[in-house]
Structures are given as structure tokens and as C-alpha cells.
Chains A and B, each alone.
Chain A
Amino acid sequence: MSGRHRLRALGALVVLNGLIPIRTQPFYVVYLLASPLSFLFFISVLSSGAFVPFGVTGGLILTMLSAGTGLQSDMTHYRQDLKFQDIVVASPVEAPTYVTGMALSELVYSTPGLGVFAVIFVVTGLANLQSIAVLVGVLLLVWAFASALAFTLATYLRDVRETFMFSPLISLGLSVLPPVYYPIDRLPHWAQTAALFSPTTYAAQLVQGSVGLYSLSFGHALLDWGALIAITAALFLVAAFKARWKEP
């Protein structure tokens, strides 16, 4: 497939899975807002407003992460129930193009959530040039590793019902337990060590550090970027070599 053909395929997938479904069910536009806004609400109430900035930075990360879990559900449904993956496999569309197109289409659903949280981010005075740059970089990496993980899982799941189980587990493991919505020093020492296995820990520390919620030295920030990039690259490698594009 030439570069131009790939672009056409990407565009088709974004429209197909991102824009057209909204025509039949407009609630798709807001469903990804539900969880992050719920967390923000509880955190605001329970901390009497003190942890609102954590709720905002955490909400941005969770919204992007949700694009990945949404991708996992869509891809499993398309593969198992509609045999859409089989149709795509037997066509000039290559796996990276399919995954990228589908992952981009999930951004359509994340955009309203990102928009709402971006407004709150600015209104609460968290935005500055540095924090915006860090936020954009971190969110792109979260979207990338979540998409790679979602694709790999989706090629193994035997029924779309299994995604109902995996999606909350992924959310729990990557957004609730790790310190995405609170400072890491609130965790006991052993849990802080365990949190280092989650890429969202590094993502949250970088964003929290960039807005002054967390004291982050330059060296620590470099380590966080390195870890986040390394985990993203590792999940890409897993997707490239272990995802079942062609079945065994």
C-alpha cells in the first residue's frame, strides 16, 4: 500500500468508526466524560476542593486512557461478531494502518472530554506553556500505549463479553490504583514501588510536576519520560509480535 492509499484507509477508518456512529447515537460524544467527571466530583467533595487540580490532571489522563479501553471493546466486537478484522486482513490494509485508524477514531469520542477538562485546566490556573507542552506529550504517549495494549488484548479475547471484564480491570490497574488522582506520597512505601509498574504513574507525575502539584526534579522528570517512553515502546513491540492479526 502506498502512502496515499494508507492515508485514504486511515481517513476511512476515522469516519467509519469515529464520526458515523455519533449520527446514530449522539450519546457516544459524552460517554467518555462520565468516569473522569465522577472522579472529579468525588475528589472535590471529599477534599473540600483541595484536590481539584489532581482531579483535573487525572481526568485528562483517564479520558485518554478510556480511548484505549473503548478501542479494545470495538475491536473485539468487530473481530468476533462481525468478522470485520477478517475482511480487513484479506485486503491491502496492513495491521498498523488498521490500528492507527481505529485508535484515531477513538479520539473523536475523547475530544469532548478532553475539551471539558482542558477548559477546567485553564480556568483553575494550571495552564502555562510548560504544563501544556508536557500535557500534550504525556497524553499522546498514554493514547499510544493504551491503543497498543487494547489491540493486543482484542486479538485474544473470545467474546465481546470478556471486554466488559477487562475494561474495568484496566481502569482499576491504570487509573484508580496508581497515583493518577492523588500524590504518590499518599501511598504506603510498598504501594509506591508497585505503582512504578504502571505507565500512568509516570504520566501523572509528569503532569502533576509540570503544574506544581508535585515536586519533580529535572533528573526525576527525565527518568519519568524515559520510563513512559520505554513502556510505550515495549507495548508496541508486544502488539507487533504477539497480537494475532493472522490467527494461529
Chain B
Amino acid sequence: MASAVVAQDLFKVYPGSHSRTPALDGLSLTVPTGGVYGLIGRNGAGKTTFVRIAATQLALTSGSLSVLGHDVAREERKIRERIACVPQESRPLYFLTVEEVVYYYLKMRGLPSVEARRRTREGLEELSLGEYRRRLVSQLSGGLRRRAMCAMVLASDAEMLFLDEPTTGLDPIARREVWAAIRRASREQRTILLTTHYLDEAEALSQRLVLIERGRRILEGTPGELRGRVRYPYRVALQEGVAPEELEPYGRVATVEGGQTLVFAREREARELARWALERNLRVSMGPVSLEDIFLDVVGRSIDEDTPAEDAEPGHDEAKA
């Protein structure tokens, strides 16, 4: 099956940017057709820049990028016929009702009224927005507005969806509802490019993931493959403080927070450490590393830390300056 997105050696420098590094710095990746492909990285790592270029909203500086078999520079119209996008920080028009947000978006895409009404009804039900359908957007919480945006594109007929941080600001229950809708869309053989800095979300939804840092691809693969590529695939958590020098022979002592000591280790060392801790009556837990641990291991920083301003991709406003 053809790939949905093929990116080769992408560079993006924003006009007038004073950044030391390009927003995209030789990024290459391939998104398979069908399913969810997750883009993860810190704020300013280049995720939104990539999504905006692939969604034909932003010009590329150099490199080649095809979406659904069409070149983004020369065949924009053909791509736009088949995609839909929820941009980062987008909001619905405040004077519309929730139902109108979805319905008029579908009408704008050219759907006939009957089909637009049916899809609107189904889309709102899918995201548990049925009871809010007559409510004005101006009367909704930020989370409900975001859900309305998601309902809008998920209800569309687009083959490929670009969802840029779609669940930011949602409560845990609402996030799960959006996840369920995304999973359903992916089962319909639609391709979903998802950016998020919630690593649990990326892991729960994505069949494949790419980790981006400073505009470059750092790691790519299934969540299982990513685990296989890190030096220390196991994580041992010790509840009580233990002197780091005692633990260093087992692996990498990464963080000590809230009295908890974390050690990243290979399987044999992790088992030995767990046994060592149990023999000393220390409370200990052991398991495979999470995506967050992998991120910390590979990038050396938490995903919650922003990219330094001089290296970050510009915010939307700066990009438009």
C-alpha cells in the first residue's frame, strides 16, 4: 500500500527568523496509509511546522514532501480535496452553535445538506456533544470548544486528518472520548497525523511514532520498536532514597523526585536491582520503560521542557510576521 506522507530532507527557515537553527532541519519520515501516526516532541521541536507544511498551509524551504501521492509544492489542490485539519490553538466561531460548527464546515467542504446533517448528528454523538448541540460556542468551556473542533474534522469525508494537539485542555474523560473517535476513524482506513506532547496519548493511539527534536527525527517506529532501541529498556523505581553511587552499577540513575529514585537498566541488571532492593526490604517496582522514559533517555530532557527560544520553531504569530 502507498504511503500517505513521504518527507525527504525537509528544511524550513521562517522568513525573517533570528533562530540559530531551522524549524525543520533535514527531517525525513514516512507515514503509512491508514492508522494513527504520532509526532511527539517538546514545544518548539518542529511538530506544528511539519503539520502545517503537510497540510499545505505553509511553504517549504527545501526538500520534497508528498501527501497522498501528490507533491505539496505543485499539487496543493489535489491534496486539499482529501484532507482536513484541526490546527493548534484553533477555536470555533463564537456565535455558532456546536451543531452549526460541524454542519457549516461540512457544507463548506461541498457536502449536500442531507449528508451534512447526518454526519453532523453522528459526529456530535460520537464525541458526546449531542446535549450541547444547540449551545452557543461562546457559552462553552475551552474543552468543549476543542471537542467541537475535533467533531468537525472527524465528521468530514477527508481521507487524511491532521490533528495538531487536539486534546489540549480536555479533561481525562473527554480525552478518552476523543481517543475513541480517533481510533474509530483509523479503523475506517483513514490516515491520522497526530501531534501531541501527551506521551500517554501518543502511545495509546499511534501505530507508529516519530520523535522530533530541534527539527530532526530522533527515533521512529512502533511503541514496541522504540523501547527496543533504547539502551535501558527497563525502569526500576525505588520508593526510598538510596545513595546514587549504590545504584550506578545497575544502570542510569536518571531522576530523583519526591523521594523516589528511578534507575533505567537492561533486563538482567533490572532484575538484580529489584532482588537487591527486596533483600533490603525496600519498596520497589519494575517494568518496561514508558514513552516518557524513552524521551528522557534519548533527548536528555523532559518533554514538558520547552525548546530554548533561540532554537525553537516560531510561534504562529512570529511565523506570520
Partners in one complex: yes
What residues of chain B lie closer than 8 Å to A1, measured between beta carbons? 81, 110
Q: What is the minimal beta-carbon distance from A140 to any residue of chain B, in angstroms? A: 25
Interface hits, A40-88 → B, CB 8 Å: 78, 80-84, 86-88
Query: Once the chains bind, are B317 and A83 in contact (CB under 8 Å)?
Result: no
Task: Decide: A86 near B108, CB < 8 A? Known: A91-B80, A248-B59.
Answer: no
Whether B321 sits at the interface, judged by CB under 8 Å, is yes
Within 23-65 of B, Cβ neighbours of A (below 8 Å) are at 52, 55-59
Given contacts A8-B111, A89-B80, 9 further A-B contacts (CB under 8 A): A12-B108, A20-B95, A83-B88, A86-B55, A86-B85, A86-B90, A90-B57, A90-B85, A247-B320
Q: How far is the CB of A95 from chain B (nearest CB, A)?
A: 11
Among the 9-residue stretches A21-29, A166-174, A230-238, the one with 4 or more Cβ atoms under 8 Å from chain B is A21-29
Mark each residue of chain B from 216 to 259: 1 if its CB lies under 8 Å from any CB of chain A, else 0: 00000000000000000000000000000000000000000000
Q: How distant is A90 from chain B, measured CB to nearest CB, in Å?
A: 4
> A189 at interface (Cβ–Cβ under 8 A)?
no
A3-27 vs B, Cβ < 8 Å mask (1 yes, 0 no): 0111011011101110011011100
The yes or no answer to A92 lying at the interface (CB within 8 A) is yes
A-B contact pairs, 13 of them (CB 8 A): A5-B109, A9-B107, A11-B107, A20-B100, A23-B95, A78-B93, A83-B87, A86-B52, A91-B84, A91-B109, A92-B81, A94-B80, A246-B56
B91 within 8 A of A: yes
How many residues of B sit at the interface, in one of the four size bands?
A: 35 or more
Q: With A83-B90, A159-B317, A246-B57 known to touch, is A24 a contact of B109 (CB < 8 Å)? A: no
Are B104 and A12 interface neighbours, CB within 8 A?
yes
Using CB atoms, name the residue of chain A closest to B89: A83
A90 to B67, CA, bound (A): 12
Q: Which residue of A is nearest B113, CB measured?
A: A8
Residue of A nearest to B90 (CB): A83
Residues in B with CB closer than 8 Å to A24 are 95, 136, 138
Interface on A for B, CB 8 Å cutoff?
1-2, 4-6, 8-9, 11-13, 15-17, 20-21, 23-25, 78, 80-84, 86-94, 158-159, 246-248
Total contacts A-B at CB 8 Å: 111
Cα of A23 to Cα of B57 in the assembled complex, Å: 32
B90 contact set on A, CB distance < 8 A: 82-84, 86-87
In whole angstroms, how far apart are the Cα atoms of A12 and B77 in the complex?
A: 20
Interface string of B98-114 (1 = CB under 8 A from A): 00100011011111100
Max count, chain A CB within 10 A of own CB: residue among B88, B89, B105: B105
Known: A20-B100, A90-B80. A6 touches B321 (CB 8 A): no
Chain B: minimal CB distance from A150 (Å): 17
Q: Are B76 and A246 in contact (CB under 8 A)?
A: yes
Check if A8 sits within 8 Å of B107, measured CB to CB. Answer: yes
Check B10 for interface membership: any CB of A closer than 8 A: no
Interface presence of B162 (CB below 8 A): yes
Given A16-B93, A16-B96, A90-B84, A247:B57 Cβ within 8 A: yes
- Specify which chain B residues have a CB less than 8 angstroms from the CB of A20 in the assembled complex: 95-96, 100
Does the CB pair A87–B85 fall under 8 Å?
A: yes
